[in-house]
Structure 1
C-alpha cells in the first residue's frame, strides 16, 4: 500500500538556520501518528513546512504518491488541512462565516457544516458570534471545524490541547477519533502525553531535526526508559 504521506530527507528552517535536518516520515491512510519531542526540536516547524508556510530547502513530500505543491492554498486543495497552534481564528468573523469560507473549496465527503456542528454542538449555539469573543476551548473547536468541513485526507494538528481545561481536552480526543472513523489520517503534535497516547496508533519522536524513534503507542507507553531518555519525562 502506498503511504498517504511520504516525507523523505526534508530540510527547512528560518533565516538561513536549519531546523529540520533530514526528516523521513510516512503516514498510512486513516492512521493517527503522535509526534512528540522536547521544546524547540522542530515539531511545529515540521507541521508548518508540510503546509507550505515554511519553505523547504531540500527533500520531498508526497501525498498519495504525488508531489505536494509549494503554495499553502494548493496544498489545502490537495486535501491537507491545518489546525495551527494557538487556534488563529479570524476574530471579527462569526463562527458561521468561518465555516462558509472554509467550505468554498471543500472536497466531496461526509463532512458538511451541519455534520460538523452536530459533532460540535456548542458551535451551533455560537453561529452568529464573532470568533474573537469565544472562549479558548470554543476557538479550538472552531479551528478544528474549519479544517473538517474541507473534507481533508490529512489533518495536521499542532498542540490542540494548549491552554485548555481537561474537559475540553476530552472532547478534542473524541473529535480526533471521529476524524479517523471518517477516514482522515492525522499527524498530531502534542505535549499532553495522555491525549497523544489515547488517540495515536503510533508514536514518533523528533530530536535535533530528525525522527529518532518510532513505534506503536502501547510499546512506547511500556518503555519508560526510552520515554525518559527522549522526552525527559517519567
Structure 2
C-alpha cells in the first residue's frame, strides 16, 4: 500500500533521515519507534509532502507521491500530525468539514465520525480549543478520516494523554484498521505501539536499524532495554 525507497532528508547539514526503505502492506498497522530526535516526525512529514526529500521515492500503490501536501491527500494518504493541530476557534463540526475538503459530499464522513466518536457528536457545536486533550486527539483522528484515506499516518497520537485515554486511542486505531485502512504509527510509547502493530521498524539517528513483527520487536532484549523501560524477564 505504501512503499518508501531510499528516502533521505536533511535540515541543512543535519541529516534527519538516511536511505530509509520499508513497505506498509494493505490492511496492516506498522509502528515506527525510536527516541526523540530519531527522525520519526521528519519521516512522516516527508510522506505527507510537507518536507521535500533530497533523495528517494514514495509510492501509494502504483502512484508516485509528489511532495505536495494536497496531492498526497488526494491520493488518499492523510497525516494526523503530532500535537493534533486542530483549529481551536472552530467548532468540532467545522473542524471535520475542513478535513473533508477533498470530498464532494462530507455528510457520510461526518456521520461516520460521530458513530466512531460519540463524544464528538455531543460536542459538535463546541469550540474545539475548549475540549480536553483526549477529545482533541479524537477530533484530529476523525478529521483525518474525513478524506477517506487508504493510508492514515499517525504521528505521536498518545502524546500528553493520560494512560486510560492512551488505551482508548490504541483501541480506536485498531478499529480504524479493521475497517480496511492501513496505518503507519509513529509513537514514543513503544510498548503500546508494538502491542497493536503487525510489523514495526526501529529508527535511530535517521536510520532503520531493526524490523520485524510487532511481537518480535516487543520481545527483543535491546529494544526492551532502550524503549520499554526494563530488561527481558528470563523464562522460568
Q: 2:5 aligns with which of 8, 19, 26?
A: 8
Partner residue of 1:125?
122
**Residue correspondence of structure 1 range 138-177 to structure 2 within 5 A:** 138-177=135-174
- How many angstroms apart in 2 are the aligned matches of 1:212 and 1:221? 15
Partner residue of 2:44?
47
Is the partner of 2:38 in helix, strand or coil? coil
Q: CA deviation at 1:195?
A: 1.9
**Residue correspondence of structure 1 range 1-234 to structure 2 within 5 A:** 4-106=1-103, 112-228=109-225, 231=227, 233-234=229-230
Is the partner of 2:172 in helix, strand or coil? helix
Q: CA deviation at 1:168?
A: 1.2
Q: CA deviation at 1:16?
A: 4.4
**Structure 2 gap segments, 5+ residues each:** 231-236
- How many angstroms apart in 1 are the aligned matches of 2:162 and 2:152? 23
Is the partner of 1:152 in helix, strand or coil? coil
Q: How many residues align?
A: 230
- How many angstroms apart in 1 are the aligned matches of 2:123 and 2:105? 26
**Structure 1 gap segments, 5+ residues each:** none
- How many angstroms apart in 1 are the aligned matches of 2:104 and 2:78? 11
Is the partner of 1:104 in helix, strand or coil? coil
Q: CA deviation at 1:106?
A: 3.0
TM-score normalised per structure 2: 0.91
- How many angstroms apart in 2 are the aligned matches of 1:13 and 1:130? 37
- How many angstroms apart in 2 are the aligned matches of 1:108 and 1:20? 38
Is the partner of 2:203 in helix, strand or coil? strand
Q: CA deviation at 1:112?
A: 1.8
TM-score normalised per structure 1: 0.92
- How many angstroms apart in 2 are the aligned matches of 1:31 and 1:126? 31
Q: CA deviation at 1:231?
A: 4.0
- How many angstroms apart in 2 are the aligned matches of 1:91 and 1:15? 33
Q: Is the 8 A contact 1:41 1:208 kept in 2?
A: yes
Q: Cα RMSD between the aligned structures?
A: 1.9
- How many angstroms apart in 2 are the aligned matches of 1:156 and 1:163? 18
